[in-house]
Structures are given as C-alpha cells and as structure tokens.
Structure 1
Amino acid sequence: MPYVLLALAILFEVTATLSLRASEGLSKLGPSVVVVLGYLVSFALMAKALTSLNVGPVYAIWSALGTVGAFIGGVLLFDEPVRPLTIAGAVIVVVGVVVMNLGGGVSHG
C-alpha cells in the first residue's frame, strides 16, 4: 500500500508541475487551483507513505520520477524540445535513484 500512495503522490506532483506551466505565472485560475491542490495532495500522500518507508529513497523516487514525468509531460503537452543532453540527464537521475535504493532499501523498521 505505501508504494501505491507513493505512485499517486508522484502523479499528483507531476500534474501540479505541469499545471504550474499552464497557469502562466499563476495568472489563470483553473490551472492555479490544480497547482495548489495537486501539491497538497501529493505531499499528504507522500507523508502517509513515509509512515512505513525510509525518507531518503522515497524522496529520491518521488523527485526523480516527478522530474522525468514533468519532462515527458512538457514534451507532449507544451512541445518542449528533446535534446540528447536532456535525455542523458533524465537517465542519470533514474540511475541515481536505482543506486540509492540498492544501497539502502525503502522499508524501515
């Protein structure tokens, strides 16, 4: 169950981040509301997941998959450019999370 909460937290965080772009500097009400609610729900879900998972690896997973999700969403929704260095950076982020999890695991107790 904590992994489901974490996955949902990532989904809400990516949605909020993409809505931040769509809000045009928080000047559009609809996307701005999605930003605030998305981050609130994301943090609440991650807080609940952290009751049984270790904070370091969980935060690494949340931020890395959020970064990759925002990158992909930006490309698909906003026609943002895809460059080889950007792809390499996303791969490095994901590899870093994998290495971090191999070193410490995510369950506490």
Structure 2
Amino acid sequence: MSWIYLLFAGLLEIVWAVAMKQSAGFTRFWPTAIMGVSMIGSFGLLALAMRTLPLGTAYVIWTGIGAVGAFLVGIMLLGETVNAARIIAAVLIVTGLVTMKLA
C-alpha cells in the first residue's frame, strides 16, 4: 500500500507544480487554491508512505515522479522546449528511480 501512496503523492506533486506555474506568482485564485490542496495531499500521502518505506527511497521516488512528470507536462501542455540534454536528464532521473526501487 505504501507504494500506491507514494505514486499518488508523486502525481499530486506534478499537479501542484503545474498549478504553481499557472498561479502567476500566486495572483490567480483557483490555480493557487489547487496548488495548496494538492501540496497538502502530496505531503500527506508521502508521510503515509514513509511509515514503512525508507526515507531516502520514498523521497527520491517522490521527487523523481514530480520532476519527470512536470517535465513531461511542460513539454506536452505548456509548449516548453525539447532538446537532447533535457531528454537525457529525464532518462537519467528515471534510471535512478528504477535503480532505487530495485535496491
């Protein structure tokens, strides 16, 4: 169950990162509200996952899901640039996540 909590915590991290971008520096109410709620949910689920998962593993997986997810949302929905260096960086993050899970 902890891995499911961690997965959803990571997905909520993507939501709050995108909402933070859309909040325009906290000047838009709804994106700011979505960011706050998803941030609380993400931290709460991360805390539940950490009841049984090691700190280092849980934190690395959580931040990795958020980082790669935000990277993909930025490219697919926000028109951010794609280049070889950014793709290599994302692949390295995913490789690290898989290695951490297997360790």
Give the TM-score of the pair, scaled to structure 1.
Answer: 0.89
**1:106 aligned partner:** none
Distance 2:18 2:88 in 1: 21
Compute the displacement of 1:98 (Å).
2.4
Distance 2:3 2:51 in 1: 11
**Deviation per CA, 1:14-64, whole angstroms, max 9, x where unpaired?**
000001111111110000011111111100001011111111011111111
Distance 2:11 2:102 in 1: 24
**2:88 aligned partner:** 88
**2:64 aligned partner:** 64
Distance 1:25 1:102 in 2: 39
Matched residues, percent identical?
A: 34
Structure 2 stretches of 5 or more lacking a match?
A: none
Give the TM-score of the pair, scaled to structure 2.
Answer: 0.93
**Which deviates more, 94-103 or 81-90?**
94-103
Segments of 4+ moved more than 4 angstroms? none
Aligned length: 103
Distance 1:10 1:96 in 2: 15
Compute the displacement of 1:84 (Å).
0.8
SS state at 1:60 partner: helix
**1:47 aligned partner:** 47
**2:34 is aligned with 1:24:** no
Compute the displacement of 1:101 (Å).
3.3
SS state at 2:53 partner: coil
Distance 1:77 1:30 in 2: 18
